[in-house]
Chain A
Amino acid sequence: MPMDESVRKAVLAAVPSLRAFAISLCGNVDRADDLVQETLLRALANIDSFQPGTNMSAWLFTILRNHFRSEYRKRRREVEDSDGHHAESLKSQPDQYGHVEFREFREALAQLPSDQREALILVGASGFSYEEAAGICGCAVGTIKSRVNRARTRLAELLHVNSAEDFGPDETTRAVLASGGE
């Protein structure tokens, strides 16, 4: 099926961000890339249900999230211990994101409840509005706002950050974060 050029461009442009979101969900690059691939296949097979003029990224994120959730539910053991398992899988793969200096932050992020982490990433990193994030997660805007707030508070607690000075320059940050970490 020949693809409309604008669709093709919009889909490709969304791939890098889709991958980053998928990694944050899976905690594993290979699985995340499989998830992105399955998402693209589903999306393009159902491209007729995409409404031109609406946000292609948000549409793809929604498909990816729904697919991840349904796949995840099948793997019961992971569901029952989703957050603990997620944290462990991230810890065992220190170079998942490529940079060692993100380790403490990444581990703290992995310890957040999955709904909070997801909301924080959609709003704080993917650049979606609260309204768009609510659409992607299929919940109320207020729910997203409260998840994001709780996620930020919990992150600060986990990283032992009370003020911006606690971050300091890079070396200090690492020392401070490491001393609280393990």
Chain B
Amino acid sequence: MVLLRTKGTTGARPGLGSWGRTMNERKPVGQQNPMEATAARSKKLNTKPAKLGRDVQARLGQQLRALYDDVVNQGVPDRFNDLINRLDGSGKKDPQ
């Protein structure tokens, strides 16, 4: 994961990761005034499902990453460390 960096060419917003690319025409919830927020909400009822609010996308993204990171946080299981050690220098004793 550390190796992966989003390329700076896409204009993704900091903190939003790859989910920040879409729905960028909509202001973050905190920056809407109440009337805009209401308008956005009522408008949402009429919009077709293809247009997800950025808040929904963000929450889906959080859940997806939580699920994924659950595995990532398990680190490198022994079998893969052993495999790499075995392939590296074929037969060389593992210092561990």
Contact = CB atoms under 8 A, between A and B. Distances in A.
Interface residues of B, number: 51
A98 interface: yes
B72 to A, nearest CB: 4
B56 A109 contact: no
Contacts of A166: 56
Given A55-B3, A102-B63, A2 B89 contact: yes
Interface of A: 1-3, 8, 10-17, 19-20, 23-24, 33, 36-37, 40-41, 44, 55-57, 97-99, 102, 105-106, 109, 120-121, 123-131, 149, 152-153, 155-157, 159, 161-164, 166-167
A40 B66 CA distance: 25
Is the contact region of chain A dominated by helix, strand, or loop, or is it mixed? helix
A13 B58 CA distance: 27
Contacts of A13: 2-3
Contacts of A152: 52, 57, 60
Interface of B: 1-7, 10, 17-19, 22, 29, 41, 44, 49-50, 52-53, 55-61, 63-77, 79-81, 83-84, 87-90, 92
Given A15-B80, A16-B76, A152-B60, A125 B70 contact: no
B79 A127 contact: no
B18 A109 contact: no
B56 A164 contact: yes
B9 to A, nearest CB: 8
17 contacts: A11-B84, A16-B73, A16-B75, A17-B4, A20-B68, A57-B4, A99-B70, A102-B63, A102-B70, A125-B67, A127-B5, A153-B49, A155-B60, A161-B60, A163-B41, A164-B58, A164-B59
